[in-house]
Chains A and B, each alone.
Chain A
Amino acid sequence: DIQMTQSPSSLSASVGDRVTITCRASQGISHYLAWYQQKPGKVPKFLISAASTLQSGVPSRFSGSVSGTDFSLIISSLQPEDVATYYCQKYNSAPFTFGGGTKVEIK
């Protein structure tokens, strides 16, 4: 099975900072990569589809990119409401594995 390695597992950054979260697939998955945001005590929210397609209503400070098997979620200017855990997920083939998650906090 393809493994999804997400890094870092946690980060602390200041309001306004640029934040990058990385997800590496152990094999090629083309663009079949999604990003989700889960705020404390809440249901996961779908952020980005197909590696870089922002979902409706998601602030434009969020973006996604891909280079080979390395995927990135970028928050261009971190806001207090972005405190959450972020997960990547592959869906090119089953199992639809999630990354381990990245907990984002405000410094």
Chain B
Amino acid sequence: EVQLLESGGGLVQPGGSLRLSCAASGFTFSNYAMNWVRQAPGKGLEWVSVISGRGGNTFYADSVKGRFTISRDNSKNTLYLEMNSLRAEDTAVYYCAKAQGTMTIYYDMDVWGQGTTVTVSS
């Protein structure tokens, strides 16, 4: 069974940093691009970032560009999101999501994790 399990969320002060992890199982992790998607309280879904299967291509939403870094360790089947210079508006549930297909990043997301909550507040 394909599973994604996020961790690393918590309460952080404005300007602080946090690293989220997403542990994957049940599929050949290195074959698939992976995404981060977030949802602020009571709001809609916001795509955050994507990384290709081998990690060579990354893209970011303008709202996080220059502050967030997506990465992966295929030997550990784990996806990461390093978040710096955090702002109140980054408060959200963060989901990792697997791309449906292989070879490129241009796929929809067929499997989602349960999410981890990030709260940015003093």
Contact = CB atoms under 8 A, between A and B. Distances in A.
Interface string A23-59: 0000000001010101000011110011000010000
Contacts, number: 62
A83 B111 CA distance: 21
Main secondary structure of the interface of A (DSSP, over half): loop
B14 interface: no
> Interface size for chain B: under 10, 10 to 19, 20 to 34, or 35 or more residues?
20 to 34
Main secondary structure of the interface of B (DSSP, over half): strand
A92 B106 contact: yes
A106 to B, nearest CB: 21
Interface string A1-24: 100000000000000000000000
Contacts of B61: 95
B50 A46 contact: no
Given A36-B45, A87-B44, A43 B105 contact: no
A94 B95 contact: no
